[in-house]
Amino acid sequence: MNIFIQILLNSLETGGIYALASLGIILIYRTSNTQNYAQGSLSMFNAFITTFILIKTGLPVGIVAILGMFCAFFVGVLVDRVVISRTLKMHSVSKQIITLGLIMIFLGIAPMIFGTDPLQFPRFLYGSHSVLGATISYNAIVNISVGIIIMLVLFFMLQKSKWGLSVRATASNDVVARMMGIPTPLITMASWAIAAALGTLSALMLAPTTSVNLSMMDGVQVIALLSCVLGGFQTFYGPVVAAYIIGTVSNLLSYYVSSTWSDSILYLLILALILFRPNGLFGKKIVKKV
Amino acid sequence: MSKQEKKQAVKAKSNSPYKQYLLFGLVLLLIPVLVHIGVIKYSFLTIIASILIYSIVALGVNLLVGYSGLVSLGTAGFMGMGTYLAAYFTADLKLPFEISLIISVAVPMIIGVVTGLVSLRIEGYYLAIATLAISEILRKVFVEFDVVTNGFSGKDADYPTMLGFFELDRNSTFILIVVILIAVMFITHNFINSYTGRALSTMRGSEAAAQAMGINIYRYRLLSFAVAVGYAALGGVLYIHFIKYTYPNAWTLLFSLNILAVIIIGGVRSIPGTILGAFIVFGVPDLILKNLPVIGDIDGLAYVFNGVLIIVVILLYPAGLIHFWHNTKMKLAKGRKGKEGNHA
């Protein structure tokens, strides 16, 4: 029983990391109409920047993380202004391939600036506490709560603020939204910036357990895309809920079945599940018109 | 046959690219000779051979991306699987090259078809995500299943032995690769111009129209994906028999991205474009960038080069660089005409 609670607590943490990354992907999907395959490498690149700031300045980790998210925000703006804003009228396949090109650029630039050696990023807090016989580190508590708070704030903004209304309008119909006077290019840019910041936060939460290296976000990228598939691309909350489900199932599989093959089994399970619910768990069927 | 028809037939014949392909093959066959004389470096042959192998793989992906508008991110996984299977069958089980070739291409194709069966029922982009997942699983298999794959340390194989007694060396394996590449180019050309190819073209134009004309989109998408996987596995078999070594980290997402870069940069739906793209993506970094002073030593330069090139080509030159010369000529001619018009 203790172990089960332990697994659930761990799942909240890993699920949170996946949820942040997938929220970024779904924001971009809804406003730019493309799957962003570069979410992982964008986050990896910004995690490198953050770690670099930490090493150079020696500021407290929390402040550095916030600085890193600001950097990510600007990198997101830059990516949108330089590349994505020029692809508005393109076919979605071309846009997807452009994000694949972005992956190559980030993977190439990162070792040029920061070297090929992996860097270490510390935890936000050290020490641990035991709950119901399971231990949970303070760092995990910070990660879980920060993740949930940020997501709640975002959802609140999406539903209640003017910005959220504009995002939802852009997502449902780009052309009409523009006619109504919504500055859709600005909204798309903001989505890229926020997505980059969210992804960077997830990378920084992951960093202490792995290290900051070129392939740190590969697994997260795959799982974040799969949670968008599982949750459905039509809603904002679907992928987030799916990310938590995937995190939990992944931890359960790696404890009770096999730690080496847990990810592979998980991928196959999700691919099989899609057969029965093609639009995801929370998706709605969209009727295609000719 | 009337004069008109005859003229058309002659024209069609001279337009058929078989001769060009054969000529290209003959030029490639000169390379081992030049290496033997000492005009070009020994390592040059390896680079060219790998470019040719990647061209085969990219031709398959080009069919998939160009005609069904689907993206596969699993190319690396399927090609890697081809290399491992071929190495296992010929080096460990001592099977003849030909039988190993058939099995090593068939097994990845079966896995590909199963993946396609599942993911193609749904929206197009599911294939990209599904193949990404499958590729990750395959890479895990390469690492963990070390009875067959030898784990992280990688697996060796030898030059192929044809028909059981004819042992090939480096140069003759190169010739084999050239022959297979030219054959694949012929097959792809015929495939595109066959009934199936025309169905694929219709599908590209408008899915709804194609469906209305009785073309089963699901089946043709599956077919083009199966061809892409088959070419990838074939490339894998050739790779292991020429490079003679395979290891799990060669088959990451980056490799699949490079193959996509080949067709985007070279030219979607163009066979010569694919070859041009392969030379740009895999050749330019190895042959030119690495030899440049100062910047040649920077890590990751090749990735940035290809990444930037992909984006620039998509933004400015969506048809691919193969049409560059032709289009520039047209533009120049047009510009001149326009100017003359203004003067008048």
DSSP assignment string, B102-136: HHHHHHHHHHHHHHHHHHTTS-THHHHHHHHHHHH
Residue A70: its pLDDT value, please?
92
Select the residue of B65, B137, B306 nearest A267 (Cβ to Cβ): B137
**Among the partner residues A86, A100, A109, nearest to B300 by beta-carbon distance:** A109
Average pLDDT over all residues of chain B: 84
Question: Encoding tokens for residue A206?
Answer: 């992951």
Q: What is the C-alpha end-to-end distance of chain B, expressed in Å?
A: 46
Q: List the structure tokens of B240.
A: 């292991």
Contacts of B125 in chain A (CB under 8 A): 35, 92, 96
Q: What percent of chain B clears pLDDT 90, i.e. is strictly above it? A: 28
d(CA B164, CA B158): 14
pLDDT of B344: 39
Cα–chain center distance at A255? 25
pLDDT computed for residue A93 by the predictor = 77
B151 vs B335, more confident:
B151
Of the listed ranges A71-85, A92-106, B295-309, the least confidently predicted one is B295-309
> Which residue from B121, B134, B260 is facing A97, i.e. has the nearest CB?
B260
- Mean pLDDT of all residues in A145-161: 90
A2 Cα to chain B: minimum distance (Å): 31
Tell me whether residues B301 and A98 touch, CB distance under 8 A.
no
Strand intervals (E) in A71-220: 128-131, 134-137
Inter-chain CB pairs, A–B, below 8 Å: 129
Which residues, 6+ apart, have CB-to-CB distance to B229 below 8 Å?
Answer: B60, B72, B74, B78, B108, B109, B111, B112, B113
Ranges A131-140, B100-109, B165-174, most confident: B100-109
User: How much of chain A is in helix, strand and coil states, percent to nearest 5?
Assistant: 75, 5, 25
Please give the pLDDT value at position B181. 95
> Would the pLDDT of B92 be above 50?
yes
Residue B11 has pLDDT above 60, yes or no: no
What pLDDT is attached to residue B337? 64
More confident residue, B288 or A265: A265
For residue B6, what pLDDT is reported? 56
- For residue A246, what pLDDT is reported? 92
Which pLDDT value is given to residue B1?
A: 47
Say whether pLDDT at B158 is over 70: yes
Average pLDDT over residues A73-91: 88
- What is the residue-wise DSSP string for B130-180? HHHHHHHHHHHHHHH-HHHH-GGG-EE----EETTTEE--HHHHHHHHHHH
Instruction: Tell me which chain A residues have a C-beta less than 8 angstroms from the C-beta of B252.
Output: 215
Q: Kindly determine whether residue B71 and residue A96, on different chains, have CB atoms separated by under 8 Å.
A: yes
Cα angle for residues B128, B129, B132 (degrees, 5° grid): 85
The single residue listed with the structure tokens 């290496």 is B35
**β partners of residue A124:** none
The string of DSSP codes covering B182-206 is: HHHHHHHHHHHTSHHHHHHHHHHH-
Instruction: Please name the residues in contact with A25: beta carbons below 8 A apart, sequence gap of 6 or more.
Output: A35, A36, A39, A195, A224, A225, A228, A239
- Higher pLDDT: B7 or B315? It is B315
| Structure confidence at residue B7 (pLDDT) | 55
pLDDT of residue B341: 47
Which tens digit of pLDDT belongs to each residue from B187-240? 999 999 998 888 888 888 787 888 888 888 888 889 999 999 999 999 999 999
Q: How far is CA A34 from CA A31, A51, A124, A222, B58, in A?
A: 8, 29, 34, 16, 23
Structure ipTM: 0.83
Residue that wins the pLDDT comparison between A124 and A7: A7
Would you call B140 and A264 a contact, using CB atoms and an 8 Å cutoff? yes
Cα separation, A283 vs B201, in Å, equals: 31
- Name the strand (E) or helix (H) holding A165: helix A162-172
pLDDT mean over B132-157: 86
Tens digits of residue pLDDT in B252-286 = 888 898 898 898 888 888 899 999 999 988 888 77
pLDDT band at B340 (very low <50, low <70, confident <90, very high): low
pLDDT of residue A114: 85
Burial of B94 (0-12, 13-18, 19+ CB in 10 A): exposed
The mean pLDDT of B307-334, rounded to a whole number, is 82
CA dihedral over B21, B166, B228, B324, signed as positive or negative: negative
